[in-house]
Amino acid sequence: MTLTCHTVFKAYDAIKNAIVRTPTVRATRLSLNLGIELFLKLENLQHTNAFKARGALARMLALTETARKAGVIACSAGNHAQGVAYHAERLGIPAVIVMPEATPFNKIKRTAEFGARVEIHGQGFDASVAFTRDLAAREGLTLIHPFDDPLVAAGQGSVAVEMLEQEPELDSIVVPVGGGGLIAGMSVAAKSIKPGIEIVGAQAHIFDAVKSQIEGTRPHFSGASLAEGIAVKEPSAANIATIRENVTHIFSASEDAIEDAVFDLISHEKVVAEGAPGAGLAVIKNNLAHFRGRKVGLVICGGNIDSRLLSSLILRGLVRDGRITRLTFEIADTPGQLAGISRMIGEAGANVVEVIHQRMFQTVGLKQAELDVVIEARDIIHVRDIVTRLRDAGFTVKTDSDI
C-alpha cells in the first residue's frame, strides 16, 4: 500500500467515529504579539492527548481477525505507545509496548494504565527498534510502527482534513517532524484539498534528520531534546519521498527557542504542549518574515509533557520574563536590615518568595552579610523600578541580569 489522498480519506472515514474531532482555534494573544493570523489545531485534546491515536487506530482496524487475537507491538517514546495501548484495549487486542529507557515516567505510567505490557529497553527510539522487531517475531505480534507505515501516516493525515474543514482559508500549515508520518499524511491530504497551501516542517536543531536529508547536509545529533517526541535519527524513506514532493520548507529550532515557545503557549494561550509543538511555534517565531501576511495553522500535536519538567520550564520562563528575580545585597550585619528590605519590596508591589541570609560562605567583610532575596514582580520594568528604589535608599544590590 502507498500513501495517497484516497488512503487518507478512507482512513478518516474508518476512524472518525472513534476519535476526537479536535478544535482549530485562533491563537488571539500570539497572533497579536507575532503580527500574523495563527490558528492552533489542538491535538493535545485528542484521546491520550496526542495525534498518534489516529494512526494507531487506522492501522489496527485493518488487522485480520487472526492478527487481532495474536496481539500488536509498538516501539515509542510515549505518544504512539499510548495511542496503540488505548485503542488496543478498546478493541480487545493484546498489546506490548517497548519504550526507551529515557522515556518520561508519566508516559510509561499512562501507557501501562491502558492495560498494555510495557517493556523498557534501549537508550532511544532507534536503539529500541531492533529489540521490538525481535520480540514481535518471537511472539507472533503485529508491529504497529509509529511512522514507517502508510496506513499509520494516512490516519495522521486526517488532522489536515479537519483543519481545512474548520479553517479553509489557511495559507500555511506548520507541522512538527520526527519520523515524518504526520507531515507526510497531512501534506498529501492538504494538497489534495487545497493545492496551493504551503506545508512547513519543524524540527529540533539537534535532531534535524529530515531537514538534513532534504538539504543534503550533515545532521546535528547531540544530547537530549525537549522535543523528545520528534527526536528521531532515522526517518522513513517513504515519508522523505512524500516530503520532497509536498513540503515547501523544513526549518529547525534551538532548544532554548523550543523552551520559550512551550512557555509562550502556556502563558499566552493557556495551552499545555510538549516540546514537539514547541518546535513548531519556535520555527514560526524565528521566521516571521516568511509567514507575515498569511493565515498560519500550527499542529499542537501533543500535550504529554512531564509535570516536573513543566514546572521547571514555567519557573525558568518566569525568570526570563523578569517575573521572578533574585536580588543579591551586601548589607551591614546588624539587626533590622532584612526587615527594611522586605518592607520596601512589599511597598513597591512585589512579593518575597525566598530569602537566603548567610554569614559563613561569603566574600564580603566580617561585619557585613550577603543576602539573596528572590522576588515575584509584574515584569522586568517592575524589577528595575524596585532596584532603583532600593539603591536610592542606600542599599548595594545586584540582580542576575545586572540591572
> Going from the N-terminus, what domains does the chain have, and what CATH number goes with each?
5-50+153-316 (3.40.50.1100), 52-143 (3.40.50.1100), 323-399 (3.30.70.260)
**Residue 324, Ramachandran bin (φ over 0: left; ψ between -120 and 50: alpha; else beta):** beta
Confidence at residue 365, expressed as pLDDT on a 0 to 100 scale: 60
Confidence at residue 361, expressed as pLDDT on a 0 to 100 scale: 58
- Cα 118 to the center of its chain, rounded Å: 23
Confidence at residue 364, expressed as pLDDT on a 0 to 100 scale: 59
Residue 152's closest CA among 184, 187, 200? 184
Confidence at residue 363, expressed as pLDDT on a 0 to 100 scale: 64
Name the residue with cell 540582580. Answer: 399
Distances, alpha carbon 373 to alpha carbons 232, 314, 377, in Å? 42, 20, 12
The rounded average pLDDT for each run of 10 residues, N- to C-terminus, in the chain (403 residues) is 95 98 98 97 96 98 97 90 95 94 78 92 79 95 96 98 98 97 98 98 97 95 90 93 97 98 97 97 97 97 92 93 90 83 93 81 66 91 93 89 64
CA distance linking residue 86 with residue 95, whole number of Å: 9
CB 217 within 8 A of CB 185: no
For residue 25, give the 3-state DSSP assignment. strand
Number of alpha carbons in the 13 Å side-chain half-sphere of residue 239? 30
CB 116 within 8 A of CB 82: no
Helix axes 150-166, 237-246, angle to 10 degrees: 30
CB burial string 205-220: b at 16+ within 10 A, e below: bbbbbbbbbbeeeebb
Q: Are strands 368-376 and 324-332 parallel, antiparallel or unpaired?
A: antiparallel
Number of alpha carbons in the 13 Å side-chain half-sphere of residue 49? 17
Residue 156's closest CA among 266, 230, 259? 230
Q: Are strands 72-75 and 142-143 parallel, antiparallel or unpaired?
A: parallel
Q: Where are the beta strands (DSSP E) in 191-305?
A: 198-204, 249-253, 295-300
Number of alpha carbons in the 13 Å side-chain half-sphere of residue 322? 14
- pTM for the full model? 0.90
**Which residues, in sequence order, are bridge partners of residue 331?**
369
Confidence at residue 155, expressed as pLDDT on a 0 to 100 scale: 98
Confidence at residue 63, expressed as pLDDT on a 0 to 100 scale: 97
**Residue 285 dihedral angles phi and psi, to the nearest 5°:** -65, -35
Q: How many CB atoms lie within 10 A of CB 393?
A: 11
CA distance linking residue 337 with residue 384, whole number of Å: 21
